[in-house]
Amino acid sequence: MRSGKRQAGFTIVEIMIVVMIIGVLSALVLPGYRSNAIRAKVSEAILALATCKNQVAELYQSGGDPPGSGNWGCEGSNMSRYVDTITTDDIGVITASVRGVGDLRVDFHDITLAPLDNTGSLPTGGGAAIRQWRCGRAGDGTSVPPQYLPNSCRG
């Protein structure tokens, strides 16, 4: 009679199958994770525009005349972790230069936020009530690819 010891454990084939399953799952999940991480950083950059947005809206609501490009009082550099500079134009379109995201598809690109009057057009002068804001439109100067903008900021 043979009294053999039975060894317990996994075979090499079983281990290879598990490694393959983990590889396939990570290949499917990682791109979506990266895209969502970039979108979250871009959302934080858009939040840095809030101060300028308030100043532009207050000026129009009070009936004042636009002060001109770069004179709205909210422009600056190093505004947040993901915003290098914030600039404004003559009518109050706010532009943020994005940096520090860690992806060149977004870094060194711009996001714009444009005030719109009650007709859905850019305001023409003082006293025009700002009814809404248009964010992320390429025609206003946004160069960040739309897939990395939050859903609320896709022009």
* Predicted pLDDT at 13: 94
Has residue 46 got a pLDDT over 80? yes
Has residue 66 got a pLDDT over 70? yes
Decide: 75 and 88 in contact? Cβ < 8 Å: yes
How close are the terminal C-alpha atoms of the chain, in Å?
A: 81
pLDDT cut 70: percent of the chain above it: 95
Pick 38-153's CATH classification: 3.40.190.10, 3.30.700.10, 3.40.50.300, 2.102.10.10: 3.30.700.10
CA distance 40 to 17: 35
* Predicted pLDDT at 2: 59
Nearest residue to 146 (alpha-carbon basis) of 31, 55, 26, 42: 42
Residue-wise pLDDT for 82-135, tens only, equals 999 999 999 999 999 999 999 999 999 999 999 998 888 998 776 778 899 999
